[in-house]
Amino acid sequence: MSPRLTLDRVEGLPIIVVFVVLIACFIVASPEVFLRLPIYMSFLTTVPPVLVLALGLTFVIAAGEIDLSFPSVIAFSGYVLAMLYRDHQLVWPAVLAAVAAGALIGLINGLIVAYVGVPSIITTLATEFFWGGITTVISGGTSYSLRTVQDTSMWAVFVGKIGEFPLQALWAIGLTILLWFIMNRHRFGEHVLFIGDNANVARVVGVNVDRERVKLFTLMGTLAGFAAVLLTLENRNFFNTQGQGYLLIALASVFIGGTSILGGQATMVGTFFGAFIISMIEAGLTATGIQGFWVRAVVGLVFLAAVIFHLTMEQPQRRAKLAGVFGLRPGH
């Protein structure tokens, strides 16, 4: 076997290279920040909720679907956790209820998509509005301060620290490994890939497409509920718009990682590094002194560049077309 072939088989290799280059750039730009540990520990506390969401979205996108409702799941599940803790002094039942609330919202999304037949982009846009609205109404639109939560066992287990190392990173890495195996080695992952590849093929080879779609959205809701637990505990605070910042960066993580928007293909490793890259660009740009309002513009640009890069890698005919647009002759 040639060495090139072996390199090809390293999942997400291009994105790992980008990741390393990005860190190198930041080290050159501001060595006083990026040659020290605290910035990395800070990434390990801020990235996990994004990563957990992005892992779920990788499944959704691999199946050729989309979920836009997770920001409201983060709000609603966060409210369930905060309310049960503050008003009823519940700890572990509050965690379970928050995750279950996410699962339920996901289940409803799945049932609407699979059995009513409403396209997922419409379904989840509607449920994003619905659950966001519900959360604002029942929470009274106020934030809940949860300062005492850091004395609880759930806080120690989910967002506590071993030395400097934040535990939410351990949860996120553990989930990445588990979900990598589900995607690449489990029957469910294979069904997701075939549904995304061609739902009609999946149906005729005996995949229960409707049931798997329900499972898919339920998984996404569950993970969003868990992301809400991590986020709310880390912040020691609940506010009803707490999910809103995550829509773009969670989706961007998946696409930057190299999972195809066309469905049928997925890389969990890519998503893992994609989540770190997108969060690092935000934090890193700020650390290098670029003015804050430029950050979002750069993030948007990186997102677009990454998608175009992966799309042209995936489809040579697009590469030729693109070269034609820029007046270049297609290479041989």
Partner 1 sequence: MGERTYRHIVRLEKIRMAYGNVVALNDVSLTVGRDEIVGLIGDNGAGKSTLIKIMTGVVTPTAGELYIRDERIDLSHYSVRRAHDWRIETVYQEKSLGEKQPLWRNFFVGRQITNRLGFIDIKRQKAITNDVLKNQIGFRGAGFDADSPVQKLSGGERQGIAIGRAMHFDADLVVLDEPTAALAIGEVQKVLDFVRSIKARGRACVYIEHNLAHVHELADRLVVLDRGEVAATFQRGEITLTELTSFLLDLQKRTMGGAG
Distance between CA 99 and CA 278 in Å, rounded? 25
* Residues 130, 241 contacting (CB under 8 angstroms): no
Shortest spacing between CB 156 and partner 1, in angstroms: 30
Name the residue nearer to partner 1 (CB basis): 155 or 194.
194
Determine the 3-state secondary structure of 162 from DSSP: strand
Give the sign of the dihedral formed by CA 100, CA 247, CA 19, CA 161. negative
Which helix (H) or strand (E) segment is 8 a member of? helix 3-8
In three-state form (DSSP H/G/I as H, E/B as E, the rest C), the secondary structure along 63-132 is CCCCCCCHHHHHHHHHHHHHHHHHHHCCCHHHHHHHHHHHHHHHHHHHHHHHHHCCCHHHHHHHHHHHHH
Q: Record the tokens describing residue 10, joined without a space.
A: 């390293």
Name the minimum Å distance from CB 134 to partner 1: 35
Give the burial string for 190-210 (b: 16+ CB within 10 Å, else e).
ebbbbbbbebeebeeeebebb
Instruction: Give the number of other Cβ atoms within 10 Å of residue 79's Cβ.
Output: 25
- Whose Cβ is closer to partner 1: residue 9's or residue 329's? 9
Q: How far is the CB of 178 from partner 1 (least distance, A)?
A: 11
Nearest-approach distance from CB 321 to partner 1, in angstroms: 18
Taking the complex as a whole, how short is the minimal distance between the CB of residue 220 and partner 1, in angstroms? Answer: 19
Smallest gap from Cβ 197 to partner 1, in A, equals: 4
Query: 327: which 2 tokens?
Result: 């007046």
- Output the six-digit token pair for 204: 């005729």
Cα 168 to Cα 46, 53, 91, 94, distances in angstroms: 9, 13, 17, 18
Given a contact cutoff of 8 angstroms between Cβ atoms, the answer to whether 273 and 43 are in contact is: no
Q: How far is the CB of 246 from partner 1 (least distance, A)?
A: 29
Question: In the bound complex, what is the minimum distance in angstroms from residue 269's beta carbon to partner 1?
Answer: 17
Between 62 and 299, CB nearer to partner 1: 62
Question: Which residues of this protein are in contact with partner 1, per CB under 8 A?
Answer: 181, 185-188, 190-191, 193-194, 197-198, 200-207, 264-265
| Residue whose entry in the numeric block shows the structure tokens 């489809």 | 315
Q: At 157, which amino acid appears? A: V
